[in-house]
Amino acid sequence: SQKIEQNSEALNIQEGKTATLTCNYTNYSPAYLQWYRQDPGRGPVFLLLIRENEKEKRKERLKVTFDTTLKQSLFHITASQPADSATYLCALDPRGFQKLVFGTGTRLLVSP
């Protein structure tokens, strides 16, 4: 079956450290993968998109990698801050029909 898996347990880290979140997928061959941030009671906000022919993408303190052989994407936040605390979702478009499938998300907690 097709699945997108993200760590269901919350990730707790100290301010200033690098947070690394994982997204694994099975039985998909997506052309791209996206990462969103969702705060409690709010809609997701787009962060980064990485295409299948890109190994790495950066935006300020954010970095995403995409390994189509491992079927995995890693999302890094460097120099993390308490304001980075949120749930981070990965999403992909499995059939190129512009309909996204989302993972359950990983909650990140950054302590001062």
Residues in contact with another protein by the rule CB under 8 A: 4, 32, 34, 41-46, 49, 89, 93, 98-105
Smaller CB distance to another protein: residue 9 or 112? 9
Smaller CB distance to another protein: residue 15 or 54? 54
**Whole-Å CA distances, 50 to 4, 9, 54, 57, 93:** 16, 25, 6, 6, 12
Closest distance to another protein from the beta carbon of 13 (Å): 20
Angle in degrees, CA 15, 17, 19, rounded to 5: 105
Closest distance to another protein from the beta carbon of 31 (Å): 9
Closest distance to another protein from the beta carbon of 70 (Å): 21
State the Cα–Cα distance between residues 55 and 69, nearest whole angstrom. 11
Determine the 3-state secondary structure of 83 from DSSP: helix
